[in-house]
Amino acid sequence: MATPSTTSAQTQQPSSTKNWIQFALLTVLLTGGGLLIVKLVRPSALRGVFSHDDPSQALRGQALVNMAWIEQALLVYAHDNKGQYPATLDALVQPGAKKYFGNLTAVPLDPWKRAFVYDPPSSAHPAPRLRSLGADGAPGGEGENADLDSDLSNARH
């Protein structure tokens, strides 16, 4: 026969787990319900949260994120190499070198599966520069075909 203290502890554990699960479900339901009410009352309030009106904007956003990631890797590389930036982006993923992109074995590409254009620092341009040629892969362009430039993306933030 079990002692009263053992029985009490055994029944208390499932009760606290049950309470936590009920709390988590209630939180999810209230959050989802609140978003649904906001979406019904004012449809424009959550525009872009549940879906993108312009998919090309999402791709351009991903390109900017990848550019920022590469820029950070370049800064760390320069810090590790006494202020010297690499001549090419391939130096960031050399076998046996520091892993600037975690477990990736290649430099991240732009969303259109092309390599970013990298210009190392020079006397005319003292900061490293990254560019994506947009969806069409050609210089210039408008809309989704417009180039993305790290010089201009830094000015936007």
DSSP state of 49: T
How far is the first Cα of the chain from the last one, in angstroms, to the nearest whole number?
69
Task: Give the CATH number of domain 55-156; options: 3.30.700.10, 3.40.1260.10, 3.60.70.12, 3.40.50.300.
Answer: 3.30.700.10
pLDDT tens, position by position, 11-49 = 555 778 888 888 888 888 888 877 777 767 766 655 555
| Bigger pLDDT: 17 vs 112 | 112
pLDDT of residue 44: 62
Amino acid at 49: V
Angle at CA of residue 144, ends 108 and 146, nearest 5°: 85
pLDDT of residue 26: 84
pLDDT of residue 2: 54
Please compute, for residue 2, the number of CA atoms within 13 A of its CA located in the half-sphere on the CB side: 8
pLDDT band at residue 155, thresholds of 50, 70 and 90?
very low
Contact 134, 146 (CB under 8 A): yes
CB-based contacts of 39, cutoff 8 Å, min separation 6: 45, 46, 50
**How far, in Å, CA of 157 to CA of 143, rounded?**
19
Residue 118 confidence (pLDDT) above 80: yes
pLDDT of residue 32: 81
Contact 54, 135 (CB under 8 A): no
CB-based contacts of 73, cutoff 8 Å, min separation 6: 92, 100, 101
pLDDT of residue 5: 54
% of the chain surpassing 70 pLDDT: 78
pLDDT band at residue 128, thresholds of 50, 70 and 90?
very high
% of the chain surpassing 90 pLDDT: 40
